Structure 1
Amino acid sequence: MKSINGKVALITGASSGIGEAFAHKLAEMGAILILTARRVDKLQELAIKLNKQYGTKVFVFAADLIKKEAPEMLYSQIINEGLTVDLLVNNAGFGKWTNFLDETIAEYDNMLELNINALVKLTHLFVPGMLKNAAGGIINVASTGALQPCPYVGVYCASKSFVLAFSEALHGEYSKKGLKILALCPGNTTTGFQSIANANTAGMSAHAPKTVADIGIKSMLKGKSYKIIGFANYLTSFIPRFFPRETVINIVSNLMYKKVNG
């Protein structure tokens, strides 16, 4: 994939935040969009806005990807519409900043279903079509939390470590077959994630969703396997390599304890 113009892009979690930013940037670049999220009203509002601003053709499919059957149902809807996905942006996901035992197993199950299982299923469903055309792109939204120990955000960060490892593995398998697969690792971003995650990000620098989307698309088109957003985050990613892991864990644990428990 050398250009976005005229390509069909599927974006999950498209109703707000980074997903919405991807929708705007891809529309600006001439893509045909398929937007999915739970909130159909938000998707329809966004579709109208994108069509008015860019003249973009937009398809809207509401889906709750926490439900195990949702990826297959979404795939069927897209195929029945006669669409072939050229670019898949696996953006949907959520996390929680909390003491491990203060969250329910049911909530962790939902988190892992959305952050990992839905992403793997959608990738498995759409890669064959990309291989048939010997072209395609996938942007899997991971996190800088995938790169370091994360006490008090353990399940979320572990899920993003999976996304990073999975994406790099697929990059190794399919980059020579015409596919461009990127793990995008943003840090703190100005979205609604913080309120959902109960994340106390006071004093932390943050990037705009537009910046994350712009860099993600450029990095994917360049054929990169992963991209960390922000120079400070890039430097931070090296800390576990140069200091004893036990030391890093203790430092992060102390910092996060204060943010989670006050």
Structure 2
Amino acid sequence: MSTPMTYSDTTALITGASSGLGAEFATQFAARGANLVLVARRTDRLEALARTLRDTHGINVTTLPKDLSVQGSGAEIRDELARRGISLDTLINNAGFATSGPLAEEEPAVIASEISLNVASLVDITRAFLPEMLVTGKGALVNVASTAAFQPVPGMAVYGATKAFVLSFTEAVAYETKKSGLRVLALCPGATRTEFFDVLGSEAAAVGRLQSASAVVETALRALDRSTTPVSVVSGLGNRMLAGIAQRLPRQVSLAMAGNAVRE
């Protein structure tokens, strides 16, 4: 792939867009001239962000308040955009959340929602929009994974497993679509200064130095702007080193290291 990533006069859909990495993706894509479809549950935050981006950058911003953990949301969003005459070039699957603690003590309904949002919804939305994105071939599919994807994470067993799925799934889709113009990227942030830890209820799982949301998104955009987009990228030098070490160590050793890090 040799052509540069196109932003101006394209449309990007961003899930989990009301705060954190989602809002930062929206801000940076808008600054590059992309029109946006913003999806999240919190209508007031979506509308406030949309107004700011329209006023600042003169782009079109569509908001779709929706709970993505509900089955079939991908087709619903696709059909709604089709009715409005909106087609997508780029999809950023950012929505997700984490739970922590021993699995035996977690609420079954909460972890079911976590799996639904982090895994099932991501696959559903990707499948809904992938065919049309392959036709235009000028955008990107970005799935937000995590450095938790590189080893099991005791104390966050479900979250780590969902992110391992996202990484594996995205790399496979990247291979399947490598002859198209679509860029496919798994973004793997480490601990990031967002509302993530507010939802989690603790910063105990924040291994390493926290990055800003803008630094993480800039990492993704640099990867997308490369002549050949990598299938995955880890944000932050320290995180890249830790992920590399985890992949090279015996599985049992990286498991114990992760368990100790989260417990501390």
Q: Would the TM-score normalized by the shorter structure come out above 0.5?
A: yes
Paired residues for 1:125-164 under 5 Å = 125-164=128-167
* 1:226 and 2:232 correspond: yes
* 1:257 and 2:235 correspond: no
Deviations along 1:44-95, one digit per CA (max 9) or x if unpaired, are 0000111122122111111100111322211111111101100000000000
Instruction: Name the aligned partner's letter for residue 64 of structure 1.
Output: D
Deviations along 1:201-225, one digit per CA (max 9) or x if unpaired, are 4784111111111211221232221
* 1:214 and 2:227 correspond: no
Instruction: Tell me the residue number matched to 1:44.
Output: 47
Whole-Å Cα distance in 1 between the matches of residues 50 and 191 of structure 2? 27
Q: 1:8 to 1:241 in 2, by over 3 A?
A: closer
Instruction: Tell me the residue number matched to 2:127.
Output: 124
Whole-Å Cα distance in 1 between the matches of residues 207 and 81 of structure 2? 43
Q: 1:68 to 1:203 in 2, by over 3 A?
A: closer
2:249 pairs with 238, 243, 248, which one?
A: 243
Contact 1:96 1:199 in 2 (8 A): no
Unaligned runs of at least 5 residues, structure 1 = none
Whole-Å Cα distance in 1 between the matches of residues 182 and 207 of structure 2? 39
Contact 1:139 1:220 in 2 (8 A): no
Task: Identify which range, 40-49 or 237-246, moves more after superposition.
Answer: 237-246
Whole-Å Cα distance in 2 between the matches of residues 138 and 119 of structure 1? 11
Superposition CA RMSD, Å: 1.5
SS in 1 for 2:63: strand
Please report how far the alpha carbon of residue 110 of structure 1 lies from its aligned counterpart in structure 2 after TM superposition. Answer: 0.5
Whole-Å Cα distance in 1 between the matches of residues 260 and 221 of structure 2? 35
Q: Normalization by structure 2: what TM-score?
A: 0.93
Unaligned runs of at least 5 residues, structure 2 = none
Instruction: Name the aligned partner's letter for residue 214 of structure 1.
Output: E
Contact 1:21 1:213 in 2 (8 A): yes
Instruction: Name the aligned partner's letter for residue 215 of structure 2.
Output: T
Whole-Å Cα distance in 2 between the matches of residues 38 and 163 of structure 1? 22
* 1:110 and 2:116 correspond: no
Paired residues for 1:46-125 under 5 Å = 46-125=49-128
SS in 1 for 2:177: helix
Instruction: Tell me the residue number matched to 1:2.
Output: 5
Whole-Å Cα distance in 1 between the matches of residues 40 and 51 of structure 2? 16
Q: 1:255 to 1:78 in 2, by over 3 A?
A: same
Instruction: Name the aligned partner's letter for residue 159 of structure 1.
Output: T
Show structure 1 runs of 4+ deviating over 3 A.
201-204
* 1:15 and 2:21 correspond: no
What's the % identity of the aligned pairs?
A: 34
Q: Normalization by structure 1: what TM-score?
A: 0.94
Whole-Å Cα distance in 1 between the matches of residues 211 and 247 of structure 2? 25
